[in-house]
């Protein structure tokens, strides 16, 4: 009988190789960048690559391409995709006309959230959803009142809108109220 190998019972998730390329490039150019920014930048590179994989995944399932998905199908397919990749459940919903929330439950990266949040996922969603929107998308991780272990919440919107929400939060305004007024 062979000894038990701990990695055989460990949860795994798929990350594009571009994550490591992005991480190397960010680290090499990180003379003044904060470590948090380096990790987010690598996540961004992975998100852009993951978008290409998502397009292939959709085609394999006989779905329309990302640009042609029906709005009511996208949230379900997004959830199925990230679950199939081992990340967890990604539930997308609207907070206002200008701000979406993405609740990630049983999220692969969230087990380390006590040590600095879901930094890779923040960059990953910015890269992935920015490719989908064909426009920069800002992503801000925020506290989730009902969050359990393994849960994260992200706010998504234009750079200006998420900047507004962030500044409002800095002044003590709850993000839900800031999003509603954005």
pLDDT of residue 18: 72
Q: Given a cut of 90, is residue 172 above it in pLDDT?
A: yes
**Which residue, among 48, 68, 47, 66, has the nearest Cα to 58 in the 3D structure?**
66
Q: Given a cut of 70, is residue 7 above it in pLDDT?
A: no
pLDDT, mean of residues 150-177: 95
pLDDT of residue 11: 66
Q: Which residue has the higher pLDDT, 96 or 19?
A: 96
Q: How far apart are CA 96 and CA 119, in angstroms?
A: 24
pLDDT of residue 61: 93
pLDDT of residue 123: 92
What residues pair up with 103 in beta bridges, in sequence order?
A: 91, 153
pLDDT, mean of residues 31-35: 66
Q: Tell me: domain 15-181, CATH 1.10.10.10, correct?
A: no
80 and 60 Cβ atoms separated by less than 8 Å: no
pLDDT, mean of residues 100-129: 82
Q: What is the pTM of this model?
A: 0.84
Q: How far apart are CA 46 and CA 18, in angstroms?
A: 5
């Amino acid at each position: 009988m062979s000894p038990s190998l701990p990695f055989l019972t460990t949860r795994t998730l798929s990350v594009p190789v571009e994550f490591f390329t992005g991480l190397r490039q960010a680290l090499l150019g990180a003379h003044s960048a904060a470590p948090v920014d380096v990790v987010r930048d690598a996540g961004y590179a992975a998100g852009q690559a993951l978008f290409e994989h998502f397009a292939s995944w959709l085609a394999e399932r006989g779905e329309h391409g990302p640009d042609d998905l029906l709005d009511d199908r996208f949230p379900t397919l997004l959830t199925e995709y990230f679950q199939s990749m081992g990340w967890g459940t990604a539930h997308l919903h609207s907070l206002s006309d200008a701000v979406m929330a993405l609740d990630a439950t049983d999220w692969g990266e969230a087990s380390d959230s006590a040590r600095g949040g879901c930094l890779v996922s923040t960059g990953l969603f910015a890269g992935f959803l920015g490719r989908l929107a064909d426009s920069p998308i800002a992503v801000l991780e925020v506290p989730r009142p009902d969050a359990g272990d393994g849960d994260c919440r992200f706010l998504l919107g234009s750079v200006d809108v998420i900047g507004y929400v962030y500044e409002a939060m800095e002044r003590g305004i709850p993000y839900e109220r800031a999003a509603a007024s954005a």
